[in-house]
Amino acid sequence: MKKVNLFRSIKFKFVLVYILLILVAMQIISVYFVRELEKQLVNNFSVSLNERANLLTYNIKNEYEKKQTLDDPEIQASIQNLVNDFSKTSDSEVKVINQNSEVIATSDPNDQLIVGKRTTDILIKRALLVNLKTEKTLIDPKNGHRMRIIVLPVEADGEVIAAIKLSSSMESTYNSMQLINQIFSTGTIIAITITSVLGILLASAITKPITEIRKQAQEMAKGNFSRKLKAYGNDEIGELTISFNNLSRNLQQARASTEGERRKLSSVLEHMTDGVIATDRRGKIILLNDWAEDLLNVSRETVLNQSILDVLGITDKYSLDDLYEEPDDVLLDFSEPNKNFIIKTSFSTIQKDTGKVNGLIAVLYDVTEQEKIDQERREFVANVSHELRTPLTTMRSYLEALTDGAWEDKEIAPKFLQVTQDETERMIRLVNDLLQLSKLDSTEYRLMKDWVNFTELFNRIIDRFEMSKSQNVTFKRTFINKERFVFIDEDKITQVLDNMISNALKYSPEGGTVTYRIKESRDQILVSISDEGVGIPKENIKKIFDRFYRVDKARSRKLGGTGLGLAIAKEMIYAHDGHIWAKSEEGKGTTVYFTLPVVDDQEDGWG
């Protein structure tokens, strides 16, 4: 694209004319302003000087009226004092001359020799003889300063008794004028600078649409119709911009309608929040978005132009025709031994206006978590059914035996009834645990928290189990007996500890030891309970907090467990913003840990 010379551009011409107009306007304003200001300052200076001269005239007249003469030495001394006082408040030089043209007072201390001498000043003679006031502006030959001269007569009883001559320098006034001119010149330069910048910005705003139209015309000449001009107004340039946009759009649609459709499809696919794959009519991948790359763990370069059947790994199950018939959602299992990963894929066809199929769109969803939840729900229902069926089957068998006549046997009947009662209590415990888990899962569940000395609570629970235990198991406490306050629901934490200690006792061998520990840090306490039982296999240790999970199912049921104790404990600890986990080694025992947070804001109040 050819670059326009700066000095030939419309932008430069506009800025130049704009600056020249501003400069001419400022010059006209400055000439008028300076002239009027000078006139006003000189006038103010003259008015002020006249007022002071009139005051001095009035004072001399008063002195004359005291003795009706100016020749009296006392009067002349008074007039000299008036002149001296006048000169103290002004830089003006004052002379007083009597009717005989003799100087009787002067304010110049270096020119006192002229007192008593006659003056030949023509202006003074005019004032004395014809009572004429004179004002002039002269140039002082000594220093070249402009001087304002005022000569005025002093009248008393209808006749001129004296004359006053005031000579005052106007240099301070003209110095002020010069300073004002400098300020005005500086302001003019600043104004021109600012208006130049504004002119450049304004010129840019005006010439920008024209420049864009020029660029658009050059791009259209190259065959590029994708650019769109912005209309900055409704004037002729704005209408021209709109016309260019319409022309560009129509030419683009007429020349590349197929390409436009492909871009629309690509835009839709790229902006979808799920994985999207688009194919041509032969099933070859022509487009996939970033999310699809992440889900399939492939790169765009390697799968483009590959068959969608091969990329999804469904060649053995589906053909391209099957996909064109829009089958039900397809589940793709990409699970690994230690990680589940399931993708649901939905297919739809791309059709032209004529109805002919032109390709496929596959939308991929990550449903791993959903499938996990569904599987856990199915397992939960199956476990509940199994846990209830077992005691019910046992009860039915014993009740049938009692019905068939076993109730008459005094030795067998009590045993059968005891078994039936035990199974009934086991079902009641199971239902109660299920209800408690349901409450914990509910969003309306609330803990009744309060500040509790955890050390005292832990000791009290351990004492209760130590007094009631039936097997030969030793309790070992390895924590310091000091106050440790935590903000908890005491009943719920008591239930957690009951469950953990009960499990430790169940799986401890005769003569074994159950160890209790408490460790504390700045923001939490760590509680652990260890037994010396058979332990838990490493691959099962993470599953013991799942609902209905048992390492040894036969022994657990024999001991009366429901398989929900640790699941309830986990939910309760999580409700207190804590964590729970376990460590175990087969043949050496198991340790269950949990933490409870310590709130710093309240520690001082309990300490």
Judged by average pLDDT, the poorest of 41-50, 230-239, 325-334, 530-539 is 230-239
Domain 372-441 sits in CATH 1.10.287.130 = yes
Residues 277 and 300: their CA atoms lie apart, in Å, by: 11
Mean per-residue pLDDT of the chain: 76
Per-residue pLDDT, 286: 84
How many percent of the chain have pLDDT more than 70? 78
- Tokens 């030939």 belong to which residue? 8
Tell the CATH superfamily of the 259-366 domain.
Answer: PAS domain (3.30.450.20)
Residues 514 and 116: their CA atoms lie apart, in Å, by: 135
Per-residue pLDDT, 539: 74
Q: Look up residue 339 and give its DSSP letter.
A: B
Average pLDDT over residues 477-488: 89
Backbone angles phi, psi at 408, to 5 degrees: -80, -15
Residue 151 has pLDDT above 60, yes or no: yes
Residues 466 and 504: their CA atoms lie apart, in Å, by: 12
Average pLDDT over residues 68-90: 75
Per-residue pLDDT, 526: 92
Judged by average pLDDT, the poorest of 68-72, 348-352, 590-594 is 68-72
Judged by average pLDDT, the poorest of 115-129, 338-352, 440-454, 532-546 is 440-454
Per-residue pLDDT, 588: 85
Closest CA to 152 of 55, 83, 78, 54: 54
How many percent of the chain have pLDDT more than 90? 3
pLDDT band per the 50, 70, 90 thresholds, residue 80: confident
Residues 430 and 432: their CA atoms lie apart, in Å, by: 5
Both structure tokens of 411: 């030795």
Buried-exposed string 419-456: b where 16+ CB fall within 10 A, e elsewhere: ebeebeebbeebeebbebbeebeeeeeeeeeeebebbe
Residues 573 and 488: their CA atoms lie apart, in Å, by: 10
- Give per-residue pLDDT as tens, 226-273: 667 666 667 666 777 777 777 777 777 776 676 666 677 667 666 666
The ranges assigned to domains in the chain are 12-175, 259-366, 372-441, 450-606
Position with higher pLDDT, 367 vs 11: 367
Residues 53 and 44: their CA atoms lie apart, in Å, by: 14
Of 75-89, 355-369, 517-531, the range with the highest mean pLDDT is: 517-531
What's the pTM?
0.39
Residue 601 has pLDDT above 60, yes or no: no
Both structure tokens of 113: 């020799």
Per-residue pLDDT, 332: 79
Judged by average pLDDT, the poorest of 22-36, 115-129, 377-391, 584-598 is 377-391
- Give per-residue pLDDT as tens, 273-308: 678 888 888 888 888 887 888 778 888 888 888 888
User: What class has domain 12-175?
Assistant: alpha beta
- Inter-residue contact 87 to 109 (CB < 8 Å): no
Backbone torsion region of residue 589, taken as left when φ is above 0, otherwise alpha when ψ lies between -120 and 50, otherwise beta:
left
Per-residue pLDDT, 604: 44
Per-residue pLDDT, 430: 61
* 233-234-237 Cα angle (round to 5): 75
Give Dmax (Cα) for the chain: 172
Residue 396 one-letter amino acid: R
Beta bridge partners of 332: 343
Please determine whether the domains at 259-366 and 450-606 fall in the same fold group of CATH: no
Both structure tokens of 515: 């160890």
Chain centroid to CA 126: how far?
Answer: 87
Per-residue pLDDT, 189: 82
* 359-363-367 Cα angle (round to 5): 155
pLDDT band per the 50, 70, 90 thresholds, residue 81: confident
Cβ contacts of 217-220, under 8 Å, gap ≥ 24:
217/244, 218/1, 220/247, 220/248, 220/251
Per-residue pLDDT, 318: 84
Per-residue pLDDT, 373: 65
Residue 310 has pLDDT above 70, yes or no: yes
pLDDT band per the 50, 70, 90 thresholds, residue 518: very high
**Burial class (CB within 10 angstroms; exposed 0-12, middle 13-18, buried 19+) of 102:** middle
Residue 95 one-letter amino acid: K
- Give per-residue pLDDT as tens, 538-573: 777 777 777 666 555 444 444 445 566 777 788 888
- Inter-residue contact 362 to 343 (CB < 8 Å): no
Strands 513-520 and 474-477: parallel
What CATH number was assigned to the domain covering residues 450-606?
A: 3.30.565.10
- Inter-residue contact 323 to 347 (CB < 8 Å): yes
Rounding to the nearest 10 degrees, give the CA dihedral for residues 463, 467, 473, 477. 10
Residues 559 and 554: their CA atoms lie apart, in Å, by: 9
Cβ atoms within 10 Å, residue 413: 16
- Inter-residue contact 448 to 491 (CB < 8 Å): yes
- Give per-residue pLDDT as tens, 374-422: 665 665 666 566 556 666 776 777 777 777 777 777 777 777 777 677 6
Q: Look up residue 355 and give its DSSP letter.
A: S
| String of DSSP letters for 474-522 | EEEE-S-----EEEE-HHHHHHHHHHHHHHHHHTPPTT-EEEEEEEE-S
Residue 82 one-letter amino acid: L
Backbone angles phi, psi at 203, to 5 degrees: -65, -40
Residue 607 has pLDDT above 50, yes or no: no
Residue positions counted in the chain = 607
**3-class secondary structure for 430-448?**
HHHHHHHHHHHHCCCCCCC
How many contiguous H segments (helices) and E segments (strands) does the chain have?
17, 17
Residues 259 and 350: their CA atoms lie apart, in Å, by: 15
Three-state DSSP class for 320? helix
CA distances from 449 to 462, 491, 575 (A): 22, 9, 11
Residues 65 and 598: their CA atoms lie apart, in Å, by: 107
Residues 441 and 564: their CA atoms lie apart, in Å, by: 14
Residues 279 and 284: their CA atoms lie apart, in Å, by: 5
- At 163, which helix (H) or strand (E)? strand 159-169
